[in-house]
Structure 1
Amino acid sequence: MAFPTVVSADAAAALIPDGAIVTVSSSSGLGCPDAVLAAIGRRFDAEGHPRNLTTLHPIAAGDMWGIKGVDHIAKPGLLARILGGSYPSGPSSAEPPAIWKMVTGNQIPAYNVPTGILFDMHREAAAKRPGVLTKVGMDTFVDPAREGCAMNAKAAEEAIVKRVTFDGEDWLYFKAIVPDVAIIRATTADERGNLSYEHEGGYLGPLDQALAVRNNGGIVIAQVKRLAKSGTLKPHNVMVPGVLVDAIVVAPDQMQTTQTQYDAAISGEVFRTLSSFELPEFNPAKVIARRVAQELRYGNAVNIGFGISANVPRVLIEEGRHGDVTWVIEQGAVGGVPLLDFQFGCASNAEAIVPSPYQFTYFQGGGFDVSLLSFLQIDANGSVNVSKLGVRPHVTAGAGGFVDITARAKRIVFSGYFTAAAGLAIEEKELKIAREGKIMKLVKEVEHVSFSGQRAVAQGQDITYITERCVLRLTPKGIEVTEIAPGVDLERDILAQAEFPLIVSDNLKVMDANLFDPAPIGLDIGGGRA
């Protein structure tokens, strides 16, 4: 191979042949090679090429807030098939992204594949092994006994996963998909194509994606912010070596992540003071986050997801307990303070940032202590839906790494409101329900099984569900109410608001009244502090 060349985004787009399998490194806006994706869309509009692409997105490409990502190429004729860990999402009131219109319109086969499994598929393709054997996703929408990752009818016709027996055990088998083109991103490329990530909020998976393409004779395109002279990058800072790169596209205005041009604290170049982090306002969501925090123990390694639980790190800051646990998130940050909203997936003050594929190996094997996640629905078996809801699925984005994380987690704490859109208030350390929610979230059967309660019971996983009005635990006999909020009526506000019978604990307790007061609660998770 020759040394990589610097080309325009349009010239890079011209390198992609019709019918190619293209893997794209991105996590929503984080690390998204948006300039190259935009150029592919422009070329198709002008020339009708490239046509019939299959694209792989281990986490997600783009968002609805300024970084279009996959929407640049979500065009009939250009895109023929897509496999994604998740997809661009947005509020229910917004116009769905173009990719969602293609998915829900059944225009192309579309699959929601757990992020860790997609990374595993790249690793297997790079080593020229046949595919991935895994138990991740069994008895969920990933399992061919359910949807087999299919998001629409066209995908259901083209299975990508099957159940097999190996060494006397049942496994899910994903055949490796060999990509022809990788589109990745970095901060800096030197003259020999070595890539460093000093301004990035995470590495994500570009090395694995580039290896899968290079080892199979394909083309690796790297979008970067700037160029550097050969020999000026420190070898320890190079994540992707130049021997894996074919073309370099310079996009000096590339955004660091969604709604963020550049923040040195996101890339770990500076550390923020704890006082600079905004604390959550006092409301029912904060009550839930505080009760979730009470589930933690000093020294825990804690995975954290989007939603109410994302505020738990700030609860610990307010309580003077920052640093007592170590946060680990799927984009690769270890430690520090996970960020919120448009910067979700990044962390400030991280202790380490590891490549996402390795983080998912950690998650899939259950090496961490507890995971804090959200729920959209819970059913009678304890199963949870986070990945599909009603007629506007683009609001949920898909499961991302949720299935990988929950497959073998020792403990999981799910959090959310007991019903949707209830009128809630807090008065004198009591919860007041002025108006019950319009939609029940504890349902007989979830719309989409993102987490299998039956499998959790069989594996002995410790599962808790925390809401504003009660705490629930999963038992072999069903879901048990163990705590209720002060001011809440057990029969009217809890048992009557579930579509299935709940078990009431013989030792039913009232939730700590301090949770319902604006003052700090004196959080005690051990570790010798008062």
Structure 2
Amino acid sequence: MNKIKSSAIEALDNLKNGNTLLVGGFGLIGAPLTLIDALKEKEVRDLTVVSNNLGESGKGLGLILNQNKIKKVIGSYFTSNRDVGEKYQKGELAIQLLPQGTMAEALRAGGAGIGGFYTKTAVGTKLAEGKEQRVLDDETYIFEQSIKGDVAFIRAHKADELGNLTYYKTARNFNPLMATAAKYVIAEVDEIVPVGSLNAEEIVTPHLFVDSIVVAKKILTKEGVKTL
């Protein structure tokens, strides 16, 4: 099956109203900005978005937030976008806060078929309210449910034609975890290379997890060509 899509909007066919969407990135680093840009053009609503943050005001996932397509967000760091707080205060957005390590483990567990796990992180805080608690080895733990998505937008460096992925430094962040935890995975990459071109030791996400591949959009700036 040919996984390479001619456009980002074509790759979004599987995203439906009410879906849970996993989106990689830490701030705007490692965020699949070409796919997010295409999402602006798709008629979809009531999304639950799982991401470290919602971009910045008018940038990244901030664009989608301002289109009122996001019903709920699950993540760790939303203060980089003041629009998140404003929508929450107005009752237009539900927020579920998770510590970054907890979110990463919840995604890993979801991808591994594990229903949940116990952690000491957030014990004794408001984030633990309403969650199951258990004492293990004289320590109190809370239960966190795993996270799975209907669709994942991930950002990688290179893909071969089968969909094997490599990542670029810290732009890797949550992307490989999200690639395992969704039913349908769309990878945005800088470059697509022939099968056999990638060093097997450098492949982080095997092609089994990838359903569609899109080449990142490049724009011309004063400093030269820049990947979106």
Report the equivalent of 2:218: 253
Match of 2:48 in 1: 54
Which residue of 2 is the match for residue 17 of structure 1? Answer: 16
The one of 56, 73, 87 equivalent to 1:82 is 73
What is the CA distance between 1:11 and its match in structure 2? Answer: 1.1
Residue 145 of structure 2 aligns to which amino acid in structure 1? Answer: K
Distance 1:100 1:165 in 2: 33
Change (3 A) 1:203 1:77: closer
C-alpha displacement of 1:121:
0.9
Question: Following superposition of structure 1 onto structure 2, how do residues 297-376 of structure 1 map, counting pairs within 5 Å?
Answer: none
Given the alignment, which residue of 129, 132, 139 partners 1:163? 132
Distance 1:164 1:15 in 2: 37
* Distance verdict in 2 for CA 1:60–1:77, change over 3 Å: closer
Q: Which residue of 2 aligns with 1:26?
A: 25
Distance of 1:261 and 1:61 partners within structure 2 = 22
Q: 1:229 aligns with which of 194, 200, 212?
A: 194
Is 1:69 the counterpart of 2:57 in the alignment?
no
Q: Over residues 439-486 of structure 1, what are the superposed CA-to-partner deviations in whole Å (9 max), with x where a residue is unaligned?
A: xxxxxxxxxxxxxxxxxxxxxxxxxxxxxxxxxxxxxxxxxxxxxxxx
Amino acid at match of 2:76: G
The alpha carbon displacement at 1:27 in A equals 0.5
| Deviation, structure 1 residue 143 | 2.4
- Partners of 1:62 and 1:253 lie apart in 2 by 19
Distance 1:236 1:172, change over 3 A: same
Q: Is 2:190 the counterpart of 1:196?
A: no
CA-based RMSD: 2.4
Distance 1:40 1:14 in 2: 10
Which one of the candidate residues 85, 99, 121 is aligned to 1:136? Answer: 121
Tell me the SS of whatever aligns to 1:120: helix
Structure 2 counterpart of 1:240, from 193, 205, 217: 205
User: 1:133: how far off?
Assistant: 0.8
Counting matched residue pairs gives 221
CA distance in 1, matches of 2:161, 2:115: 35
Q: Structure 2 unaligned runs (5+)?
A: 220-224
Which AA in structure 2 matches 1:253?
A: K
CA distance in 1, matches of 2:218, 2:54: 17
Q: Give the Cα separation in 2 of the matches to 1:82 and 1:249.
A: 25
Q: Which fold has the larger relative contact order, with Cα–Cα distance below 8 Å and residues 6 or more apart in sequence?
A: 2
- One-letter amino acid matched to 2:152: A
**What SS is found at the alignment partner of 1:180?**
strand
Q: Which runs of 5+ in 1 are unaligned?
A: 91-95, 145-160, 255-259, 263-530
SS in 2 for 1:83: strand
Deviation of the 1:52 alpha carbon: 1.4
Structure 1 match to 2:222: none
Question: 1 CA distance for matches of 2:139 and 2:79?
Answer: 36
Tell whether the 8 Å contact from 1:33 to 1:183 is kept in structure 2 after alignment.
Answer: yes
Q: Structure 1 residues 244, 7: CA separation in 2 closer, same or farther (over 3 Å shift)?
A: farther
User: Hey, which bits of structure 1, 4+ residues long, moved more than 6 A?
Assistant: none
TM-score by length of 1: 0.39
CA contact (8 A) 2:5 2:11 kept: no
SS in 1 for 2:144: strand
In structure 2, do the counterparts of structure 1 residues 61 and 226 end up closer, same or farther at CA, with 3 Å as the change threshold?
A: farther
Give identity over the alignment, percent: 25
- Structure 1 equivalent of residue 92 of structure 2: 107
Q: 2:170 and 2:177 mapped to 1: Cα distance?
A: 18
1:131 touches 1:174 (CA, 8 Å); kept in 2?
Answer: yes
CA contact (8 A) 1:40 1:72 kept: no
Secondary structure of 1:240's aligned partner: coil
TM-score normalised by length of structure 2: 0.86
Deviation at 1:108, TM superposition (A): 2.2
After TM superposition, give the deviation of residue 221 of structure 1 in Å. Answer: 0.5
Q: Distance in 1 between matches of 2:121 and 2:211?
A: 34
Distance (whole Å) between structure 1 residues aligned to residue 112 and residue 31 of structure 2: 26
Q: Contact 1:4–1:242 at 8 Å: present in 2 too?
A: no
The answer (yes or no) to whether the contact 2:9–2:39 under 8 Å persists in 1 is yes
Change (3 A) 1:101 1:35: farther
